[in-house]
Amino acid sequence: MVKAIVGANWGDEGKGKITDMCADKADIVVRFQGGANAGHTIINEYGRFALHLLPSGIFHKHIINVIGNGVAFDVNALKTEMAEVNAAGVEFNLAISDRAQVLMQHHILLDTYEEERLADKKFGSTKSGIAPFYSDKYAKVGIQVWELYDEDRLKDKLKGIYEKVNISMKYLYNKPEIDYLEVFETAKEYAAFIKPYVADTSKLLRNAIKECKNILLEGQLGTLKDTDHGIYPYVTSSSTLAGYAAVGAGIPPYEIKDIIAVTKAYSSAVGEGPFVSEILEPVEAEELRRRGGDKGEYGAKTGRPRRVGYFDTVATRYGCALQGATEVCMTCLDVLSYLETIKVCTGYELDGKVYKDFLTTADLYRAKPVCVELKGWNCDIRGIDSFDKLPKEAKDYVAFIEKEIGVKISMVSNGPKREEILYR
C-alpha cells in the first residue's frame, strides 16, 4: 500500500509530524522532490529535529528511508543532518537513488547571487540552490549520482559545465570563477561518502510494492508552491504534488492509493507572493506567529518569521483538489485556543465579484479576502485524547472547514508531539 503525505497549502503544514506518526506502520519512507530548502519539524523521544533532506522515517529503526530520484540531493546538507541525528543516538537505514541529481556548490552560489541581483524583485529564496539545480537538471547539465563513479567522464563533463557557469560568475555577477578541478575533487569526496547508500531505489520500491510493503511518500512544501499549479513565479522549482511522487520515486502512479493532504488550522507562508488571507494588522499577526507551531511560526530552515493568515478555504479546496486528496489532516488546532472568535476566509473578492475558485497570481494580488467569523473555544485543548471530547466550537470549526473544502478531515492534531492526534 502506497500512501502520500503532502501539503495542501504553502508548506509548513506539519507534514513531518504526520509522516513520523504514520511511520510506525510503514516499511519505507520516501522523499521524492525538493531539497534541503525546507524543514520538517519532528518532536519525539529523541528530541526536536528540523529535517531538511532525510526522510521523516529515520526515527524508526525498521524503516528504509529513500532519497528518490526527484530530490535535489545536497550531499553536504545530508552530511550535516546525518551528524546531527546520529549525535542524538538515532540510527537509520538510508537508500539514495542512483538517479538522484547532485546539488553542487555553484547552485547555491548562483541562487544567492541571483537574489542579490534581483534586489527588491527577489523571490525570497532560501538560497539553497534549488532553482539553479532544477534549471540544470532540465537543461541536461546536471549530474546524476551514478555519474560520480565514472571519473574520466565526470571530469570532462565538469569542464564543460563550468565553462558556462563561469561566464555567469564573471560577467553577470562579477564574482570569482570556479575551478572545475576543485569541484571534481569535491565530487570524488561525495562519491565516497554516499557509496554505501546508493541503490536502484525505483527497483527497490517496485519490489516492495510486489511484496505488499507499506510505503509512505513524503512531500515537501505544498500545492501552492507547485511549479505549475502554485502562485507562479513565487513557487518552488519542483512539483509538490502527489502525482509527481510517482515520477520522483519511480513507481507506477496507480499504486498511490491514499493521499493525505495536510493543512494547518490557520495559514502561514514564507517568501514572496500573493497571500489573500494574510493578517496584515501587525499586532494580531505577531500574536498568531508567536503562538504558532511548537516554537512560533519561524522558518525551520532560515529562522525568518513566516507570514500568517486566516484559514483559507478557497486555497485549501484548490490545494486538496490538485493533490487528489483522499483525506485531510488538520494540524495546529490547539494554536487557535486563545481566540474568542476565529475568522475563516471563504471567498476572494475581485472587481465586485466573489470568487470561490483559486485565481492566477496577478488576480490573487488584487483579491480581497471574504471572511466569516466563527465562535472560538477559548480554552486549552492540548492533552485532549479524542475528537469527541473537544469543545463544541472546536468540533464545529473542523466541520465547517471540512464542508467548505469537500474532503474528509480524518485526523486533527492538537499538539506537536507524535501522540497528539485525534482521529475522526
Contacts with ligand GDP, residue ranges (CB under 6 A): 7, 11-17, 38-41, 43, 293-295, 300, 331-332, 334-335, 413-416, 420
| Nearest approach, Cβ of residue 186 and ligand GDP (Å) | 29
- Toward ligand GDP, which CB reaches closer, 13 or 312? 13
Concerning whether 12 is annotated as a catalytic residue, the answer is yes
| Nearest approach, Cβ of residue 265 and ligand GDP (Å) | 8
- Toward ligand GDP, which CB reaches closer, 11 or 274? 11
Task: Judge residue 191's burial from the number of C-beta atoms within 10 Å of its C-beta, 0-12 exposed, 13-18 middle, 19 or more buried.
Answer: buried
| Nearest approach, Cβ of residue 232 and ligand GDP (Å) | 21
- Toward ligand GDP, which CB reaches closer, 158 or 260? 260
Nearest to 31 by CA among 267, 201, 228: 201
67 strand-pairing partners: 31, 96
- Toward ligand GDP, which CB reaches closer, 12 or 312? 12
| Nearest approach, Cβ of residue 103 and ligand GDP (Å) | 19
Concerning whether 24 is annotated as a catalytic residue, the answer is no
Task: For the beta carbon of residue 286, count every other beta carbon within 10 angstroms.
Answer: 15
* Owner of C-alpha cell 534586489: 119
| Nearest approach, Cβ of residue 144 and ligand GDP (Å) | 26
CB 407 within 8 A of CB 328: yes
Give the separation between CA 196 and CA 270, rounded to whole angstroms: 36
Cβ neighbors of 73 (< 8 A, separation 6 or more) are: 35, 53, 67, 96, 100, 101, 102, 103, 145
Radius of gyration of the chain (CA): 22
- Toward ligand GDP, which CB reaches closer, 10 or 133? 10
Catalytic residue, candidates 20, 24, 27, 40 = 40
Cis peptide before 253 (omega within 30 of 0): no
Give the separation between CA 186 and CA 164, rounded to whole angstroms: 19
Nearest to 344 by CA among 424, 287, 398: 398
Which residues are known catalytic residues? 12, 40
